[in-house]
Amino acid sequence: MTNSGAPFAGLRVIELADDIAGEFTGRLLAEMGADVIKLEPPGGSPTRAVGPFARGEEGPETSLNFWYYNSNKRSAALDVVRERAQFEALLAGADFLVITAQPAALKAQGIDLADLSARFARLIVLSVTPFGLDGPWADFKSSDLVALAAGGPLNSCGYDDHAIPPIRPGGNQGYHTATSFALIGALLALLERQKTGKGQVLDVSMHEACAVNIELANPYWFYPRVNVHRQTCRHAQPTPTQPALFRCGDDRYVYFALILSDQKAWRTLVEWMESKGMAADLVEPAFSDVAYRQARFQDVQALVECFFLVQSAEEAYHEGQARGLPIGVLNAPEDTLEDVHLRARGFFVEVDHGAYGKVRYPGASYRFSSFGEVPRTRAPHIGEHTAEVLAEIAGAQRAAQ
C-alpha cells in the first residue's frame, strides 16, 4: 500500500507493538505515507482490549483506543516465533521495525535486535520501551502514570493545595513523549542511512524521554538549586504565582496568564478594564511601577476576577485576543469538536467504519505545502491483510530469484 506524494511514501514499517508509544509511532509514520504493517498474534493485539468501546460493545474490533492509534495501518496475523521465516521475510523488505518488547520478552521470543540489524543491513530497528534495552530497570513494568511519576513530570502536576497528591495529566502524555522522541530518532536514522546505506538499532526509553520533559524543574534545580512546586492550572514555580484561571459570567472559564512585570500587557489590560468602568484604582500612576503592583497582586487579582465575571468566556476571549492578550477559553472535549477554528481548517475528518457508520477523527498532524494529503483510513480488523501481505512476500521472493 503506497501513498505517492507523501513524505514517507515508499517506506515500509513492520510494527510489533503492544503499547501506545509504539502504536502511536507507527500511526504517525503511516499518516505521512509509510506502509505500516501491524503484526498481531492470531487473537489480536492486547491493545484491542482497551476501552472505551464503540456503542459500549466490548470486543477486539470495537476498541476506540485501538481505532485511534492504529488508523492507516494494515494488519497481518502472524506468530513471530512459529512463523519466523515469514517474519524475517517481511524484515528483508522493510525500512523500519517498530518494536516495544522489553529484553526478557525479546529473549523469550528468540529475537536479537543486534542480530537483526546485522543481517538486514538497511533495516532501522526502532525500539520503544518503558526503560530502554539495558540497565537494572530494563524489564520493569510501566504505564503512562508510572512513566510520568518516575520521570519527574508528575511532581509538577496538580493543585495549589499540596495536601492533595500530584495529579496525572490526561492524554497519555508519557507515551506521547516517548513517541515524539522516537519519531525524531527515526528521521535522524533515515538521514544517516542516506549517507551510509546502513540502518541501526535505535533505543528509545520512555523513562528517559519523560526525565528531560519536566519543563522548568530541571533548570531550576541545575542552577539556583531550588525545587518547583505544583500549582493549579499553571506552571510549577519555586514560589507561588498568580492564579491564571478566571470564571466568567456564563460559568465557563478562561485562561489568562497575567505577567505583572510585562508593562505592555499591563497597560493593555488596564485600558480594557477601564473601557468597562472596572479598572478602579489600577489607573493610578503608582500601579505603573512593577514592584508596587507585584506587592499588591492579591488586590489586582480580585479586581481582574470581578472583571471577567461581567462577561461571557467567548466575549472575554475574543476581546482579549483583539487587544493582543494571551487568553483562551477552557474547552471541554465536546466543545473542541465544535470549535469554530478547527472546523474552518477542516481538522476533524470522517472515516467510514462500516456497520458503525462515519466516525469523526482528528485530522492530519502535519500539513506540507510540497506533499499531498494522506486520507485517514480506519484501523484494520484482526489479520485483515494477512493474505495480501503474504502474497507480497512471495512475490518479492520470486523476483529475487
- Which of the 8 DSSP states describes residue 128? E
Same domain, residue pair 209 and 245: no
Same domain, residue pair 85 and 149: yes
Phi, psi of 123 (to 5 degrees): -75, 130
pLDDT at 217: 93
Same domain, residue pair 300 and 209: no
pLDDT at 3: 56
pLDDT at 401: 73
pLDDT at 373: 86
The answer to whether position 221 is within a domain reads no
pLDDT at 105: 98
- Domain of residue 120: give its range: 12-213+364-400
Instruction: Fill in the amino acid letter for 385.
Output: H
pLDDT at 4: 60
pLDDT at 339: 93
The answer to whether position 86 is within a domain reads yes
Alpha-carbon distance 201 to 197, whole Å? 14
Of the three residues 287, 316, 332, the one that is the final residue of a domain is: 332
Same domain, residue pair 51 and 145: yes
Same domain, residue pair 85 and 189: yes
Specify the CATH number for the domain of residue 251.
Answer: 3.30.1540.10
pTM for the full predicted model: 0.93
Q: Which residues of the chain have pLDDT under 70?
A: 1-4
pLDDT at 279: 96
Same domain, residue pair 266 and 379: no
Which of 248, 369, 237 has the alpha carbon at shortest distance from 320? Answer: 248
- CB contact burial 292-327 (16+ within 10 A = b; e otherwise): ebeebeeebeeebeebbeebbbeebbeebeeeebeb
Same domain, residue pair 249 and 190: no
pLDDT at 396: 84
Same domain, residue pair 176 and 40: yes
pLDDT at 358: 96
Q: How many CA atoms lie within 13 A of 118 on its CB side?
A: 5
Same domain, residue pair 265 and 119: no
User: Do the Cβ atoms of 192 and 200 come closer than 8 Å?
Assistant: yes
Of the three residues 332, 352, 376, the one that is the final residue of a domain is: 332
Q: What is the number of domains present in the chain?
A: 2
- Which of the 8 DSSP states describes residue 158? B
Same domain, residue pair 160 and 97: yes
Q: Write out the three cell numbers for 54.
A: 464503540
Same domain, residue pair 203 and 133: yes
The answer to whether position 347 is within a domain reads no
Cα-based torsion angle of the residue sequence 392, 188, 31, 64 in order, rounded to the nearest 10 degrees: 100
Q: What's the chain's length in residues?
A: 401
